[in-house]
Amino acid sequence: MVDTLKNTCSVDLIGGPKKLRNRSCPLPDEVLAEIISYLPAKAFFKLLPVCKTFRQLSSNSHFLLSQSRYNKTVSGFIIHSDNFLKSIILIDPYAGVPSSNLEFIADMESIILGSAGGLVFVLNQKYERFDATTTGICVYNPARGTRCWLPSPPGECTPGGIAVRFMNDGDRVMKDYKLVYLTQTWGLSKSHHCRVYDSVARAWTMDKELDLGHQQLDLEDPVVCGDAVFWLSSESKWYARIGPYVVTFDVREERTQIIPLPSEIVIDFFAIFGIAKWEGKSLCLIHYSSSSGVIGLWLLKKTSDGAVEWVKMHEISLSQMGFPGDPCFVNYVKLIEVSTTTTLLVFTTYDSMYSYNIKDGGALKWQGCWGFAYSPKFIPYCNTLRPCGDREELLEAI
């Protein structure tokens, strides 16, 4: 990997497409780069030994960002338990992450905060005897084997979650972003500490305490739709019929809102909830009822007067997927878009992981699964070539 990415540290994040030298290709430079940018990261790495042209592209910021735009669908999941990385499960056969890069991140005892656009955001900690010292927040690209340190955020760095809002420039390339770092403020109030990082300013531009309701939030699984970040509360009291709710934070206006779940939803003992993005722009609520064995999908829409409401889109039973007998014990549900035409409903049981194609139907059991009784966390991951920042460095060079 060092040889294939030896020019990565000099990536220029300001300029546009550059002329590719030393090649005898009849295609114009811009056309060739555009065609190659549609390739997945794994396929592009196989081209690097072919000629110097592809090596030049590996350090061309405009190409790397274009490739991340064309390959933004979910490639798999980062699996971690107790905030520590365990592995990456890839559902895209054309995606790939060098095992050495994953081992490096795991060896750093990094706490996973979130992932977006092919980048993994982690909280690095250094252990001495029984004490842990935070060394800062770092951005990794596992596919390229690079990392970049962010400026230290205000206040204490603690485990939480990160949501990323990418912004398009004039060429529709998402280079800059705003990062929302949310942590739980422990105490009687259960407030949350919210900090916002602006990659353009290269600084943390917001540092506030937010009232996001009386329940804890699932900070590691946010959904970003436009300028809004959504979290789902992680508590429910079935015996009191008190269910979870959705919280939204507008990054631009710095405004919060609590959205109750649909009144039709019945909260039973083993009910499972999740949120996801639907068709790249809307929020979708996922609800599994253990009593009926049915998974329902609800879309959040605005009414004519500006209020929001839930509209049921799909209702899928496990028997419809081919599961016989009593409902399975489901402990995780997630909706992911693996292409423009394929949306998968992913769910886990005690010993297996399954995916169901919303449009075509049919449930498939993933190969190589293990027991999920310890309830790991699943963070969606996109396998892209996106640079970590203007000061990124190779993992092997550290």
For residues 73, 76, 79, 85, the Cα torsion angle rounded to the nearest 10 degrees is -70
Position 195 confidence tier, pLDDT thresholds 50, 70, 90: very high
Residue 231's pLDDT is what?
94
Across the range 257-264, mean pLDDT stands at: 90
Report whether pLDDT(152) > 50. yes
User: Would the pTM count as exceeding 0.75?
Assistant: yes
Q: What percent of the chain has pLDDT over 90?
A: 21
Across the range 303-328, mean pLDDT stands at: 82
* Separation of alpha carbons 33 and 362, rounded Å: 38
Say if CB 349 and CB 321 are below 8 A apart: no
Domain residue spans in the chain?
Answer: 8-69, 70-381
Mean predicted lDDT score pLDDT of the chain: 79
Across the range 311-337, mean pLDDT stands at: 81
The CATH label, of 3.40.50.300, 3.40.50.800, 2.40.50.320, 2.120.10.80, for the domain at 70-381 is: 2.120.10.80
Compare 165 and 94 and report the one with higher pLDDT. Answer: 165
Q: Report pLDDT digits (tens) over 331-385.
A: 888 888 776 677 888 888 776 778 888 877 766 766 544 444 456 677 888 889 9
Residue 8's pLDDT is what?
44
Q: Report pLDDT digits (tens) over 10-45.
A: 455 444 555 555 555 577 778 888 888 998 898 898
Q: Which residue has the tokens 């072919």?
A: 50
Say if CB 380 and CB 336 are below 8 A apart: yes
Residue 186's pLDDT is what?
67
* CA-to-CA separations, 90 to 46, 170, 288, 369, in angstroms, rounded: 18, 32, 24, 12
* CA-to-CA separations, 20 to 4, 28, 55, in angstroms, rounded: 17, 9, 10
Position 214 confidence tier, pLDDT thresholds 50, 70, 90: confident
Report whether pLDDT(168) > 80. no
Q: For 309-318, which contacts have Cβ atoms below 8 Å and span 24 or more sequence positions?
A: 310/261, 310/262, 310/285, 312/262, 312/264, 313/278, 313/284, 314/358, 316/345, 316/356, 316/358, 317/292, 317/293, 318/293, 318/294
Compare 102 and 356 and report the one with higher pLDDT. Answer: 356
Across the range 45-55, mean pLDDT stands at: 84
The secondary structure of residue 19, as a DSSP letter, is P
For residues 197, 202, 206, 212, the Cα torsion angle rounded to the nearest 10 degrees is 0
